[in-house]
Structure 1
Amino acid sequence: MEAPETLVPIHAHDASTNRHEVSSTSQAKNHSANDAATTIILPDLFVSIMSPSPRLNPLYEVVRPASEAFTKELLGLDAASFKKHRRVNFSLLASMWMPEADAEGLRVMVDWLTWVFFFDDLFDDGELRDDPVGAQAEAEATLALMSDHEQEVSRELHPLRYLFYTTWVRFRNVLLALQTRYRKCIEEYITGVVRQTGASLVGADISVEQYLHWRRKSVGLRPCHALMEYACGIQLPDYVLAHPAVQECVMVSIDLVSLQNDILSYRKELASCGTQNIIHILRRQGMTTQQAFDRAGGLTVTAIRRWHLAQLDMPIWGEEVDRQLQRYLQGCLDSCIGSLNWRLVSAV
Structure 2
Amino acid sequence: MALVDLTKGVRGYPVRPPASGMVRRRSLWARVHLDPWLMLMLLVLMSAGLVVLYSASGQQMDTVIAQATRFGFALVVMVVLAQFSPVTLVRWTPLAYGGALSMLIAVEVMGDMGMGAQRWLVIPGVIRFQPSELMKLAMPMMLAAYLSRRELPPRWRDLLVCGLVMALPVLLIARQPDLGTSLLVMCAAVFVVLLAGLSWRFIVFLGVLTAAALPLLWLNMHNYQRQRVLTFLNPESDPLGSGWNIIQSTTAIGSGGVFGKGWLQGTQSQLEFLPERHTDFIVAVLGEEFGLVGVLLFLTLYLMIICRGLWLANAAQDTFGRLLAGSIILTFFIYVFVNVGMVSGILPVVGVPLPLVSYGGTSSVTLLAGFGILMSIQAHRRLLPR
Greater percentage in strand = 1
Asked if TM exceeds 0.5, the reply is no
TM-score of the aligned structures, taking structure 1 as reference length: 0.30
